[in-house]
Amino acid sequence: MNIEVKKIVIATDGSENVKNAVNWGMDLAKDNGAMVSAIYVMPLAGVTLSMQGEMWSKALEKHLKDEGEKAISHVEEIGKIKGVRVESSIVEGKTPTDGIVNFAADNNADLIVMGTLGVTGLGHYLLGSVAENVVRHAKRPVLVVP
């Protein structure tokens, strides 16, 4: 089987558990001359608004955006070290699964790379078992790295 991998989506939440997946994805990209899209998925504004009211929602939205920027910055740094071109995006999605699956489809990704475990606490509430759901719903191959 001869599969060409030129576009890899690396989904990140910035957690330590995902850093191994970032390294795997970057090594695959380097070996294949592929481009990486680093993505962090934020819930839609309406989802955060319904959680605790407008003041809490704006604070939560800012926190999530800041976390997303840190998460994708890590992927960009690894890309510079390994000589891999990285485009970063903070995307909105009803759920992280929807955001990842839709982004990969919309951008004609050849592969989605993600970790098995994400953040805990609030992040766990928002994320659930994202890897499992992405594997079930993606129309692209998914590499899940423990």
Identify the burial level of 4 via C-beta atoms within 10 angstroms of its C-beta, where 0-12 means exposed, 13-18 middle and 19 or more buried. exposed
Q: Dump pLDDT digits (tens) for 115-133.
A: 986 654 444 444 448 888 9
Where helices occur in 36-139 by DSSP H, the ranges are 45-52, 54-82, 96-106, 122-127, 130-137
Q: What is the CATH number of domain 7-145?
A: 3.40.50.620
Widest pairwise Cα distance in the chain: 53
Spatial neighbors of 55 by CB under 8 A, at least 6 apart, are none
pLDDT band for position 61 (50/70/90)?
Answer: confident
Q: Dump pLDDT digits (tens) for 65-124.
A: 899 999 999 999 999 999 999 999 999 888 899 999 999 999 999 999 999 866 544 444
Where in the chain are the domains?
A: 7-145
Cβ 19 vs Cβ 2: under 8 Å? no
d(CA 115, CA 13): 9
Distances (CA, A) of 36 to 39, 63, 73, 87: 9, 25, 13, 6
For residue 139, how far is the Cα from the chain centroid? 16
User: Model's pTM, two decimal places?
Assistant: 0.85
